[in-house]
Structure 1
Amino acid sequence: MRRLFGHALALALLLPATSLLAAPPTAPRTLSGELQGAPWRLDVPATWNGELVMLAHGYEPVGVPRTTPMTANDSTTALLGAGYAVAQSAYSNQGWAVAEAINDTERLREHAARELKHVRHTWMLGFSMGGAVTIGSLERFPQHYAGGVSLCGANLSGEQIAADLLTTLVAFDYFFPAAEGLPRSGLVSREAAALPQGALYQGIALALQRDPARAAVLAQRLQVSADALAGTISLHALVLHELATRSGGLPVGNRNVDYSGFGDDAAFNAGVQRLDAVPAAQAKVRSTLALTGALKRPLVIQFNHNDPTIVPHMQTLYPQLAKSAGAAPLPQVLPAVGEGHCGFSDAQVVEALKAVQR
């Protein structure tokens, strides 16, 4: 599921970078099809252990070509080798389709259970955006799951995600006004949304190169390395514009936000662009992309070192939410492994699943 763009954007960071194991001696049984517009596949190893994994993939930009039948996630082979059946949906919509993905995954779970007939336990396992799909599924359908794993997960509500993305874009516009190749109206504007992603990235990268000192301030505040900064900003623009399109307007505002960490914070707060959320868009995101923290099933969370997509301050939010909501049990956060975004080995993916089983 890592078929994004071929240029040097951070979009390639969105899906897991795992290596494939050798195929088992006996090929698994594979079924595929479509459920209400969502392509799906179900792989069952010859030596099935009776456990079913519902695998939720990460963000797929709108317009990325899809294959028929659906291509398996890179971690499928490792999970099959460990004895698990693996069901995965391509989702009925591309983009930040968390709400649709939760429903598509639940529909597929029902279908897989009928097909397999004797499932002992069902587990959720998601990467990146699929982490939010995993948590949302556990919160809404706890009766169907024994537990779940969120790897490199965007474990945030839609409104939280949108607020972080908006901060990135208005901060770039503050530090780099009227950047060459970019709209004078800023990265949040419709003009920026209409730019090809490659052109947007190039304009951002050029501006950062021309003022390394300001770029360093921005990188430190956003908790990413300098070399990942252009890709992170262009990714944030892509996702926020796509969220706005899906919800019918800007789903979050910053009118009353008191920013800090941008050097001269007084000057920053006085000069940064202020925007209002579109009420209907904000209400839609709050209702369809909410996470409550009210877990009733075990959840294991694990991140990578130096992840420029799910940065440290994002990683702490859901465990805090679960604690305040009285989740039982509380999520278990495993020590970080690997590098980058979703940089897990096959063995680490399987071990995280075994951790939640324990």
Structure 2
Amino acid sequence: MQIKADKSGLRCSASLVTALALGLLTGCASAPKEAAPVAAVCPEGVPSGVRCLRGQDSAGSHYLIAVPAQWTGVLVVHAHGGPVLGEPKMSRADEDIKRWAITLTQGHAWAGSVFRQGGFAVTTAAEDTERVRRIFIDHVAKPRRTLLHGQSWGTMVATRAAELYPQSWEGMLLTSGVVAGPTTYDFRLDLRAIYQYLCNNHPRPNEPQYPLPIGLPVDSKMTNADVLSRADECLGIRRPAAQRTPEQARKLKTIVDVVKIPESSVVGHLTWGTFALQDVVQKNGGVSPLGNDGVRYSGSTDDAALNAGVARFKADPRAVARFAADVDYKGRLVMPVISAHAINDSTVFVEGQDTLRQRMAAAGHGEKLVQAFVDSREHSYWGDAMYPPLFEALLRWVEAGEKPTPGSIAARCKVLRSTAPQECLFLPDYSPRPLATRIAPR
């Protein structure tokens, strides 16, 4: 079912109606005509000769638009990573355009919404992404081609926007993407549970106890620095390995081996499993969509003791439904999609790409997907050499029907970067394993 709205370009789809029924959204309204953006000084890092415009849309989302003087006619609408907790700030768009200035140097226009809500609010972010596209068309120019770019958590937004508004996008690029749906986040609850079993200081025995899947109680005063301090107390995380006690070293190795993350990312994921999970729960009626009931952990020196001692929690079925209705996608991506991911990304696991492949194939759109893999540990940005061949390949696929291959993308990178081919990090023969090999299934 697809119900068209007014000139704003926003529409209600069957999936959005489902979200409405679950109480996630207040309505599928026909939005008022958007005000025109205003000329603004471009943020630092934007190439010279680019025209910048800013505005705030009718839903309250700030946005930034940038158009090169020699515009190719291609518009890239960017869905940023995160999610950023707290009140959205306009400065987020400035950070994004600085990082993705490569889009402008290729001659493409760029438009990015800051999103009206902070934290895990994917469907509304998808609406905001569609809205900034319409603002560009109504008040700036009609693009020759329109591409959607999702980065990290922004791929949740992009895949949601692609299924809600399939006629809006001619091609989609996903980089470092969260493409395995809510399952992506299960391991962070595993980390909280295993950490508490080993360390018993988050919360401490003399503090109010709470179920770990809620992240933190609403009234908690804990800070990021507090989490780091407790992790260092138990694991010696801020110290060189030689300065850790044998007990600290043993506990840290258990976490690394069982959760399958490097030492360097333990605190980051523990922080996510504290504050971002708190946000998820608050947006799901105070109950958690994550659980570890029945999960079998392996990789420690005594798996039997670990599995017997780790606290168990059941996901709330209502929260599971609400969370999935807001953030998940079905694989019904009808436009050409290129998804690229670093094979050693410890923020978002590359194994999630297998889920993307399976979902698009199951939805009958497997032929619309090309996956490229990168020999890197980086999550946010792989270097200027890596993105032009991806955008170029996507455009040729959209315009000429020439479907790329991982090999052709890798080869084109070396042609474009002939003076420094070592900067091309594509691995055309790589194939990811299933997500269940990285995150314990449940």
Q: Same fold (TM over 0.5)?
A: yes
Distance 1:273-1:304 versus aligned 2 partners, 3 A rule: same
SS at match of 1:232: helix
- Quote the residue 1:205 is aligned against: 232
Alignment of 1:130-209 (within 5 A): 130-157=154-181, 159-178=182-201, 185=209, 187-188=212-213, 191=216, 194=220, 195-209=222-236
- Quote the residue 1:51 is aligned against: 74
Letter in 1 for 2:134: E
- State yes or no: 1:78 paired with 2:102: yes
CA displacement at 1:178 relative to structure 2: 3.9
SS at match of 1:211: helix
SS at match of 1:119: coil
Structure 2 length normalisation: TM-score? Answer: 0.69
- Quote the residue 2:336 is aligned against: 298
- Quote the residue 1:346 is aligned against: 384
Alignment of 1:1-358 (within 5 A): 23-24=47-48, 26-63=49-86, 66-67=89-90, 70-71=93-94, 73=96, 74-157=98-181, 159-178=182-201, 185=209, 187-188=212-213, 191=216, 194=220, 195-209=222-236, 210-248=247-285, 249-358=287-396
Distance 1:69-1:321 versus aligned 2 partners, 3 A rule: closer
After superposition, the C-alpha distances for 1:196-249 in whole angstroms (9 at most, x for unaligned) are: 122022212321225212211211333322132222222232221211111121
SS at match of 1:35: coil
Asked if structure 1 preserves the Cα contact closer than 8 Å seen for 2:68 and 2:104, the reply is: yes
Q: Which whole-Å CA distance do the structure 1 matches of 2:194 and 2:359 have between them? A: 27
SS at match of 2:177: coil
Asked if structure 1 preserves the Cα contact closer than 8 Å seen for 2:88 and 2:115, the reply is: no
**Which stretch of structure 1 is more off in the superposition, 312-321 or 140-149?**
312-321
Give the unaligned 5+ runs of structure 2.
1-43, 237-246, 397-442
SS at match of 2:338: strand
Q: Which whole-Å CA distance do the structure 2 matches of 1:233 and 1:301 have between them? A: 27
Q: Which whole-Å CA distance do the structure 2 matches of 1:65 and 1:97 have between them? A: 12
- Quote the residue 1:7 is aligned against: none
After superposition, the C-alpha distances for 1:134-162 in whole angstroms (9 at most, x for unaligned) are: 222223322111111111111232x3134
- Where relative contact order (Cα < 8 A, 6+ residues apart) is larger, the structure is 1
Give the unaligned 5+ runs of structure 1.
1-19
Q: Which whole-Å CA distance do the structure 1 matches of 2:104 and 2:137 have between them? A: 17
Asked if structure 2 preserves the Cα contact closer than 8 Å seen for 1:180 and 1:207, the reply is: no
Letter in 2 for 1:317: T
Distance 1:61-1:23 versus aligned 2 partners, 3 A rule: closer
Structure 1 length normalisation: TM-score? Answer: 0.84
CA displacement at 1:124 relative to structure 2: 0.7
SS at match of 1:334: strand
After superposition, the C-alpha distances for 1:284-319 in whole angstroms (9 at most, x for unaligned) are: 112122211222111111123532211243343222
Distance 1:197-1:332 versus aligned 2 partners, 3 A rule: same
Q: Which whole-Å CA distance do the structure 1 matches of 2:46 and 2:60 have between them? A: 32
Q: Which whole-Å CA distance do the structure 1 matches of 2:208 and 2:92 have between them? A: 44
**Which stretch of structure 1 is more off in the superposition, 68-77 or 327-336?**
68-77
- Quote the residue 2:14 is aligned against: none
Q: What percent of counterpart residues are identical?
A: 24
- RMSD over equivalenced CA pairs, Å: 2.7
SS at match of 1:164: helix
CA displacement at 1:167 relative to structure 2: 1.7
Q: Which whole-Å CA distance do the structure 1 matches of 2:107 and 2:88 have between them? A: 31
Alignment coverage as a number of residue pairs: 337
Asked if structure 1 preserves the Cα contact closer than 8 Å seen for 2:188 and 2:269, the reply is: no
Tell which structure's C-alpha radius of gyration is larger: 2
Q: Which whole-Å CA distance do the structure 2 matches of 1:235 and 1:190 have between them? A: 9
